[in-house]
Amino acid sequence: MQQILINGHWVESSSTDGFRALNPSTGETREPVFPRSNWHDLDSMAAAATAASVHPANAEPDRIGRFLDLFAERLDANRSRIALVAHEETGLPLETRLAQIEFNRMLGQLREAASAARDVTANSWRSPLIDAESGIRSDFGPLGGAVLTIGPNNFPLAFHAVSGGDFAAAIAAGNPVIAKGHPLHPETGSLLADCAAEAVLEAGLHPATVQYFHQCHPEDGLRLIADPRIAAVGFTGSRAAGLSMKAAADASGTPCFLEMSSVNPVFVLPSALSEQGARIGGEWAASLMMGAGQFCTKPGIAIIVGDGADAFVDAATSGLQEAAPGVLFSGAGVERLAAGIDSIEAAGAVLRCGGASGSPGSRFEPSLLEVDGDDFLKSFEALSQELFGPVGLVVRAGDMEEASRIAARFDGQLTATMYTGDNDDAAWTALESTLRVRCGRLIENKMPTGVAVVPAMVHGGPFPATGHPGFTAVGLPTSVTRFAMRRCWDGVDPRRLPAWMR
């Protein structure tokens, strides 16, 4: 049985319950057995994290920055091995996706977080305010407990609980992290956590600054979320799992940052559709298949308005039909996708292409479903569900009035997109106020799958896309404040304050 990382040491879990991962490209079971932790494991981590949260070394911005840089350096030194294991566990392409693009994104985020951790200027995430006249000062600082990070299946490096965006932000804010790996890529997580543990040691932070377990029973996980030693939760994954965690966190008053499901509607406005329907349809199909359709920003639903619909649908269909089946992360994912397509057909949509699983391993054909706007509105709940895989639904809206009614039905989304042509100014305006407040990122004339890691990015949005509309999970240093508290010193002798508050 593989070990877990508690308080700086890889140790045996006190649980004897184990699991194995699969290679989804081949369907083969992988060798190592990983423990499914019990409450005893989690309790030990929470206790150690509490000590880390008050350890003086962990209050030093430079030391935190040094850890993050050292961690990135060690990851880079182990790039080929980590990327290969991630490829074997997820089926995502080794080159260039994992070994280059996602790996570099992970390293870049950690290094940006290092800069953010070190930054104590007035423009930093700390937002220090010093009112010398009244003797009142405030800034953002650590939460005083552990941040529990729970990463998704679809970005085994850049969103991993022990190396991804939530991790980087929580550490930069000065918090210890307890990271839960994803059971579909446990060996990847072990390799990442091992680099983190070595960097913690070398940087001289408290050994419990980063702790790691592979999986747990859901009831123990919810108990940990509700435990007062957990100061915040960062979760990326499905809506069902996210809502159960949110309920546990809410009941105990724990801030819980969720990044859940989103169908990312794309509206192709009349002038764009008639002028460039075929091109945009092809672009949509390509975007649907990125990461085998397992991106949280997959544009799952395209609403095309007016004339030119056939050219769009034909181009999208061709694009999807020409592609090989995509490798999903698991057989369970294939089953959920097939069931989702069935329920969407049952609700009135027509399957234009695809719809079947493939082999070896966990494969699924790129698929297209179609429905007209009237039927979409009638069965909105069933038809607007997220399908995690290379599948899209095209909605043919008769006119802008119908498109407006459709836009108003969507709840919170990570993104909403409008494709505009030369004569779509009025159409843009008609939808803008509706869509603007329903998404974190409003996009014009490109697909939402690219999430640039720049400070101005917002990877967030109103519930249920996330748990709170005021934050972003991507884009340092803004993402750091999710894991910070606003703290004030009133009349406190300046020599007792952090250097940047004097």
Contacts of residue 316, defined as CB under 8 A and 6 or more positions apart, other chains included, come to 281, 282, 284, 285, 302, 368, 392, 394
Question: Quick one: tokens of 502?
Answer: 């004097």
The amino acid at residue 432 is E
- Distance (Å, rounded) from C-alpha 296 to C-alpha 261? 7
Question: Quick one: tokens of 68?
Answer: 């993050």
Q: Which stretch binds its own copies (CB under 8 A): 23-31, 198-206, 246-254, 387-395?
A: 246-254
Among 137, 160, 182, 298, binds its own copies (CB under 8 A): 137
One of 216, 256, 296, 439 is an active-site residue; which one? 296
Of the pair 136, 351, the CB lying nearest its own copies is at: 136
124 is a site residue for its own copies (CB under 8 A) = no
29 is a site residue for its own copies (CB under 8 A) = no
Of the pair 307, 425, the CB lying nearest its own copies is at: 425
Of the pair 135, 360, the CB lying nearest its own copies is at: 135
Smallest distance, Å, CB 340 to its own copies? 23
Among 129, 332, 339, 350, binds its own copies (CB under 8 A): 129
Among 51, 94, 130, 286, binds its own copies (CB under 8 A): 130
Among 336, 405, 487, 500, binds its own copies (CB under 8 A): 487
19: left (phi over 0), alpha (psi -120 to 50) or beta: beta
**Helix or strand (DSSP H, E) at 178:** strand 177-180
**Helix or strand (DSSP H, E) at 320:** helix 309-322
Q: Which stretch binds its own copies (CB under 8 A): 75-83, 153-161, 183-191, 439-447?
A: 439-447
Of the pair 109, 330, the CB lying nearest its own copies is at: 109
Q: Hey, which residues between 262 and 321 contact its own copies (CB under 8 A)?
A: none
| Per-residue CA distances from 399 to 322, 372, 392, 406, 423 (Å) | 31, 11, 21, 11, 14
DSSP state, residue 163: T
Of the pair 80, 433, the CB lying nearest its own copies is at: 433
Smallest distance, Å, CB 297 to its own copies? 11
Smallest distance, Å, CB 92 to its own copies? 24
Residue 73, classed as helix, strand or coil, is helix
Would you call 60 a catalytic residue per the annotation? no
Contacts of residue 173, defined as CB under 8 A and 6 or more positions apart, other chains included, come to 117, 125, 140, 141, 142, 143, 480, 481, 483, 484
- Distance (Å, rounded) from C-alpha 140 to C-alpha 214? 31
Q: Hey, which residues between 179 and 238 contact its own copies (CB under 8 A)?
A: 228, 231
427 is a site residue for its own copies (CB under 8 A) = no
- Distance (Å, rounded) from C-alpha 140 to C-alpha 343? 47
Among 255, 270, 319, 390, binds its own copies (CB under 8 A): 255
46 is a site residue for its own copies (CB under 8 A) = no
* Tokens 């043919």, located at residue: 396
Q: Which stretch binds its own copies (CB under 8 A): 17-25, 29-37, 153-161, 253-261?
A: 253-261
Among 142, 186, 354, 366, binds its own copies (CB under 8 A): 142
Question: Quick one: tokens of 413?
Answer: 């989304």
472 is a site residue for its own copies (CB under 8 A) = yes
Of the pair 73, 250, the CB lying nearest its own copies is at: 250
Of the pair 279, 468, the CB lying nearest its own copies is at: 468
Q: Of the candidates 358, 49, 35, which has an alpha carbon nearest to the alpha carbon of residue 190?
A: 35
140 is a site residue for its own copies (CB under 8 A) = yes
Of the pair 5, 474, the CB lying nearest its own copies is at: 474
Q: Which stretch binds its own copies (CB under 8 A): 16-24, 76-84, 394-402, 488-496?
A: 488-496
Q: Of the candidates 207, 492, 347, 363, which has an alpha carbon nearest to the alpha carbon of residue 355?
A: 363
Q: Hey, which residues between 394 and 413 contact its own copies (CB under 8 A)?
A: 411-412
DSSP state, residue 398: S
Contact 153, 180 (CB under 8 A): no
Q: Is the peptide bond before 317 cis (omega within 30 degrees of 0)?
A: no
Among 217, 345, 469, 500, binds its own copies (CB under 8 A): 469
247 is a site residue for its own copies (CB under 8 A) = yes
492 is a site residue for its own copies (CB under 8 A) = yes
**Three-class HEC string of 333-383:** HHHHHHHHHHHHHHCCCEEEECCCEECCCCEECCEEEEEEHHHHHHCHHHH
Smallest distance, Å, CB 422 to its own copies? 12
One of 112, 259, 370, 402 is an active-site residue; which one? 259
Would you call 296 a catalytic residue per the annotation? yes
Instruction: Please list the active-site residues.
Output: 259, 296
